[in-house]
Amino acid sequence: MKWETVIGLEVHVQLATKTKIFSAASTAFGAEPNTQACSIDLAMPGTLPVVNEQAIDYAVMFGLAIDAEIGMTSVFERKNYFYPDLPKGYQTTQLEKPIVGAGVVQIHLDNGDSKSIRIHHAHLEEDAGKSLHEGNFRPGVSGIDLNRAGTPLIEIVSEPDMRNAQEAVAFAKKLHSIVTSLGICDGEMSQGSMRFDVNISVRPEGITELGTRTETKNLNSFKFMEEAIYLEVERQIDLLEDGGEVIQETRLYNGETRKARSMRSKEEANDYRYFPCPDLLPVVLSDEHVAQLRANLPELPDARQARFMEQYQLSQYDADILSTDTSMANYFEQATAKSGNPKLTANWVAGELSARLNAENISLEQSPVSAEQLAGLIVRIADNSISGKMAKQVFEGIWDGQGDADQIIESRGLKQVSDSGALEAMVDKVLANNQAMVDDYINTDPDKRKKKLGGFMGQIMKASKGQANPQQVSQILAQKLNEML
């Protein structure tokens, strides 16, 4: 039997406000545990929450960016459940009247296809705290850090429109690109700024009825999400083909062990006993305010891609890679402004630089090679001061903190020889010292002579210690050999 996978995502996006959604406590990352949780975050008696206006604006900006319906009147509700890191015993969230309604996100797949993923809604809510299971605690005891309690989130809920892990990852990356381009989220997934809950079910091909779904929670990387989907799809298919049934449940995935486990049976909305929060009035937006937010939206990924293609004459593939990530787009434009060579800059940013960042598992913000330094390297490649092979050595030197391109070229004596007279002398010397190779070239079938040039090139580059301009050498060598025929 052939199976079809059905995937929907719930994405928690931490909003980049300086204070929490209902209090003035700081949202800064990395503080000592329990130093940024105030009495309002803990719902102590006599305290009243006040809505963070910036959080409201950020949620509306997201809705506008995906052409969604904006909830001109939205209502906060209490979602009641017990969890150790939820000291209030409820979460303040939205259900019946969310701030963002139905919208759509366009994704682009590696095979060149595009697909529309529908957004059911996006709502504002507060984050819970964090349970700590490793630390200097008594045996059998966990710690609770409430710094994150009350941090503003938007939860983006998709329709079940994705059919495989690749589509889910493309959708997640597109959301990441949108929220970071808007500036409403820093996108640091390792710090919990974006977390993905993946709802997965399978059904026989041709069947329209949805299968029983499971939810794998709190995935904080695209890689882990992809792995978790593959694992869960395989588990469900094996279970069904063995005559079993899928149980609706919440699951967890461990990216280090690449194993998943059941966490709890899945709750339904009525289990949470939602009711309107008595401490918060409905949020009412004016048409003028929404219009102002719309007018001030920054450039979004799709518009940036189109601009890169027009302004810099980049291919759709290169423009897509460079426009998806806001940091990379800014880095590319800064480097291009200095190098004056957008195509070569694009190749190096998307190629050598990105590969090294991935290998070192660091972000572009942590790159030891600045945009200005990369531009300096590209200028020297473009003016034939160094070859492509030399450029990689120079890049390594910049990465290791040995200076900029000109300093490394000078200190290592890497400057490429492009003087035609000097190159002709090198070629003449190699031909004179390798008469047997010359005779072999002359006596070889004309259609096969091109393959013989490599031996001469190797000798010349060795004689020049790799500093001869290979393109010029190739032209001079071909000309001189042809004159001997």
Q: Which domains can be identified in the chain, with CATH numbers?
A: 3-292 (no CATH), 299-412 (no CATH), 420-484 (1.10.10.410)
Helix (H, G, I), strand (E, B) or coil at 78: strand
Asked if residue 416 lies in contact with residue 387, where contact means CB atoms within 8 angstroms, the answer is yes
Q: Which pairs with CB-CB distance under 8 Å and at least 24 residues apart come from 102-107?
A: 102/68, 102/69, 103/63, 103/66, 103/67, 103/68, 103/69, 104/66, 104/67, 104/68, 105/66, 105/158, 105/171, 105/174, 105/175, 105/178, 106/174, 106/302, 107/167, 107/170, 107/171, 107/174
Do residues 104 and 292 touch, judged by C-beta distance below 8 A? no
Give the amino acid at 105: V
Exposure on the CB side of residue 218, measured as CA atoms within 13 A: 13
- How many residues make up the chain in this entry? 485
Q: How far apart are CA 362 and CA 324, in angstroms?
A: 17
Q: Give the whole-angstrom CA distance, residue 467 versus residue 461.
A: 7
In this structure, the number of other CB atoms found within 10 A of the CB of residue 324 comes to: 21
For residues 187 and 222, what is the distance between their CA atoms, to the nearest angstrom?
12
Burial track 276-300 (b if 16+ CB lie within 10 A, e otherwise): ebeebeebebeeeebeebeeeeeeb
Spatial CA neighbour of 72 closest among 379, 289, 319? 289
Q: Count the neighbouring beta carbons within 10 Å of the beta carbon of residue 330.
A: 13
Q: How far apart are CA 392 and CA 22, in angstroms?
A: 51
CA distance 438 to 484: 9
What would the two tokens of residue 57 be?
A: 């604006």
- Token pair 């900006």 is found at 61
> Which pTM was predicted?
0.83
Per-residue pLDDT of the chain (485 residues; tens, 9 = 90+): 899 999 999 999 999 999 999 999 999 999 999 999 999 998 899 999 999 999 999 999 999 999 999 999 999 999 998 888 898 999 999 999 999 999 999 998 888 889 999 999 999 999 999 988 877 888 888 899 999 999 999 999 999 999 999 999 999 999 999 999 999 999 999 899 999 999 999 999 999 999 999 999 999 999 999 999 999 999 999 999 999 999 999 999 999 899 999 988 766 667 889 999 999 999 999 999 999 999 999 999 999 999 999 999 999 989 999 998 889 999 999 999 999 999 999 999 999 999 999 999 888 989 999 999 999 999 999 988 888 888 999 999 999 999 999 999 888 877 765 657 777 888 888 888 888 888 888 888 877 787 778 888 888 878 776 777 777 778 888 888 887 87
Task: Outline where DSSP puts E strands in 308-409.
Answer: none
Q: How far apart are CA 225 and CA 209, in angstroms?
A: 25
